Chains A and B, each alone.
Chain A
Amino acid sequence: MKIDAIRRFMRRFDFRKEFEGYIGIERERFLVDKDGMPIPQADLFLTAAGDKRFAHELSRCQIEDRTEPHRDIMRLKLNLFENDSLVYKTTSEIGSGAAMYEVASATMPLEVYPTPRYENIVKRITREQLIAACRVAGVHIHIGVRDMNEALVVYGILREKLSELSHLGDHSSGERLTLYKTMATKWEPPTYANVEDFYEVARIHGFDDSPRNCWHLIRISVHGTVECRMFGATDQADEIINWVELIQSHIHV
């Protein structure tokens, strides 16, 4: 029975060997008014942009952009620039701005983007956790891996580097990660000796049915990647590239 459950769990991860070593980036940012205060305009932005590279976040004041997976660092950098230009164009058209705050003001609006998933999440969390979830924005780096075995190896290496990477990606003297940990109490990436171990943690932490609900700062994602979530928001593409290169040097890609 447990073997079947593990098999079901494994099928939730879309590993593709052709993307081994590829890098993809997700960035969260705030939509802001002329005074730099976050404004709940994600739906307006997404309609105006009409581009699948952009998506909503829990806070209606935030949007997320994604790059394609790239092997070539300069192509990745160009993709970041492309997304930045589109954000600039779209925010100019809807009369707002965008800001890469790592932590937004505590007085920002707490409107949640209207999806059933977010509504469910909000029902389960405290107001303090909602505030924390709305105020923080980060950069997520995905490293493509060929299969679960490689995922566990890469995950294990990066887990050892959590403190170094967190420090490197911190622009708020630790405030973002403090808030993140308020929101995601199970933030610490545990050790996984093998797939059975990983499944067991998923079952106990309640993400065996939906690995997207794993909030560890490093996680094995459904996209078939190892995802680093410890980096704060930045408007510097060079900084993201530096993080990527450091990760690559650790895992010897």
Chain B
Amino acid sequence: MSKEKLMHNEVNEKEMRFAFKEKADEVLCQADSFEKRIGTLRVGFESEVGIWKDNVPYYEIGVIRDKVVDRVKSVYGGEADVELGLTQLELRTAPYDILSDFEALDREYRKEFERNRFLAGNFGASILRIGSNPLLPVIDTPRTDKLKYQLVPDYQNMYRRKTITTTIGINGKVIEIGDASIVSLFQSFQVNLEAKSLDDAIAKMNRSFMFAPYLMAIGGNSRYLGLQDTGWNDLRIVAWELSHDTRTSDDIKRGMGLRIGLPEKYFEDMTDYFERILKYPFILHDPEHAFKIGIGLHWLDTRVKFIGNSAVVELRALPTQPTIENELALTLFYIGRLIYAEATNEPFLPMVIVRENRLSSLMFGLAKPLWVAESGKYIKVDARDAVRRELSRAGFGLKTVGLGCHIDILESLYSRIDNGSPSDVLSRHFDNCSSVCKEEMLEALKITGMLV
């Protein structure tokens, strides 16, 4: 595809909007085709990791990354792809019905990861399992040489509001993040859950917004940027928000939110969701794929995407974890908590409260109280108590659908209540120093299992 075809302009945007609407209407008209059998729960993973090799230029790490991805696909027929970051790759699993065989998902995910690790090892490289790569530069971060990976960040840089604060850091720490390609430092672990219908997809997405902050508090794993301590439990999404805010003052005045993070309100239905996507520029010009592009650029904490005749709820709020076991535990926390909410027809927390819980979790993790609902009332409790209580609800949910035999996997999260999130654990290695040297960082990453 030529650069001209991908350029953002009014005519191209109009075409993209039209093509998106056509496909969205088709989905809405064929709602029945997205209905799935009750009694199954199909789940798959996408996980972004970094490749790291010390003392070589970044482009060389990029070459290793490309070779790993190529071999996963061509030699093993596996699922892997490059990402925005020059040193990143994404590995994927097929969806599995976890109600009948949770172990199958577990096995495939481990196999995919070990394969990537093995191949990287063949080139003398390691795998970095962390939400923000602390070893690469924050400005002019090396990007993958693909047109869309050049155009989208460049668009964000060009149209960002000039007055916006592009620094991040708590307690006097100030780190400049005013380059949209900063997201190429970020790695997330995504849970894909097949919905039973379009309505079910919207309901699951809405519920995910509600309780994701508890998972974010305990799952925080992106605190360092450019070897500097930002003080955040998980800065990944907030840095994304700040570097990708292209709203004008008038947009903000009209109440337009960001296409990153949380929507302004819970979605009413799929039409409402599609209409929100249409409010934002498509940036790329490829009408044949307008539907996929529109959804792909809608970086909410949870979003609904479409794969064939499946409406898939994608939890995107969590950073890559130090271990596969951690990610399996968070997946069960997520799914169990979702089932609990559905089984008890749990009322939604008001968005105003979710908004505070979310930002507080990202900023302070388990160190600041969070809101919970208790017998129809809202109370603020110690974040550790809030997470403990949510984990217990998740356990209840897992038992409800016959996944009770996997509850022990949640134990690693119970221990985090005492030990803190991975961000907390990593920062303890540096004794609260605001900046660290590369050697210290590499050592700490190895000790914490984030560099393997």
Q: Do A and B come from one complex?
A: yes
Known: A77-B359, A81-B359, A245-B163. A88 touches B255 (CB 8 A): no
Task: Tally inter-chain residue pairs, CB-CB below 8 A.
Answer: 66
Is A82 a contact partner of B163 (Cβ separation < 8 A)? no
A89 in complex: contacting residue of B172, B359, B378, CB < 8 Å: B378
Contact with A along B356-369 (1 / 0, CB 8 A): 10011001000000
* Chain A residues touching B, range: 20 to 34
| Interface of chain A: mostly helix, strand, loop or mixed | helix
Inter-chain CA distance A72–B172, complex, in Å, is 8
Is A74 a contact partner of B168 (Cβ separation < 8 A)? yes
Inter-chain CA distance A236–B355, complex, in Å, is 12
Known: A81-B352, A84-B352, A171-B253. A74 touches B378 (CB 8 A): no
A78 in complex: contacting residue of B161, B352, B359, CB < 8 Å: B359
With a cutoff of 8 Å between Cβ atoms, the chain A residues found around residue B355 in the complex are 81, 84
Asked whether A5 is an interface residue with its Cβ less than 8 Å from the other chain, the reply is no
With a cutoff of 8 Å between Cβ atoms, the chain A residues found around residue B170 in the complex are 72, 75
Give the size of the chain B interface in residues (CB under 8 angstroms): 28
Among residues of B, the one whose C-beta sits closest to the C-beta of A83 is B356
Is B249 a contact partner of A74 (Cβ separation < 8 A)? no
Within 8 A of B (CB), among A57-96: 71-75, 77-78, 81-82, 84-85, 88-89, 92-93
Among residues of B, the one whose C-beta sits closest to the C-beta of A90 is B378
Is B352 a contact partner of A74 (Cβ separation < 8 A)? no
Inter-chain CA distance A239–B172, complex, in Å, is 24
Is B356 a contact partner of A78 (Cβ separation < 8 A)? yes
Asked whether B121 is an interface residue with its Cβ less than 8 Å from the other chain, the reply is no
Within 8 A of B (CB), among A213-253: 236, 238-239, 242, 245-246, 248-249
Asked whether B353 is an interface residue with its Cβ less than 8 Å from the other chain, the reply is yes
Is B163 a contact partner of A246 (Cβ separation < 8 A)? yes
Is B363 a contact partner of A74 (Cβ separation < 8 A)? yes
Inter-chain CA distance A77–B377, complex, in Å, is 24
With a cutoff of 8 Å between Cβ atoms, the chain A residues found around residue B377 in the complex are 89, 92-93
Which residues of chain B have a CB within 8 Å of any CB of chain A? 161-165, 168-170, 172, 238, 247, 249, 252-253, 255, 257-258, 350, 352-353, 355-356, 359-360, 363, 371, 377-378
List 19 A–B pairs whose Cβ atoms lie within 8 Å, in order of A's numbering: A71-B172, A73-B165, A74-B238, A74-B363, A81-B360, A84-B352, A84-B356, A85-B353, A85-B356, A85-B378, A88-B353, A88-B378, A89-B378, A92-B378, A93-B377, A168-B249, A168-B253, A236-B252, A238-B258
15 new A-B pairs (CB below 8 Å) besides A88-B353, A89-B378, A246-B249? A72-B169, A78-B359, A78-B360, A81-B355, A81-B360, A82-B360, A84-B356, A85-B356, A88-B352, A168-B253, A242-B163, A245-B163, A245-B165, A248-B165, A249-B163
Which residues of chain A have a CB within 8 Å of any CB of chain B? 71-75, 77-78, 81-82, 84-85, 88-89, 92-93, 168, 171, 236, 238-239, 242, 245-246, 248-249
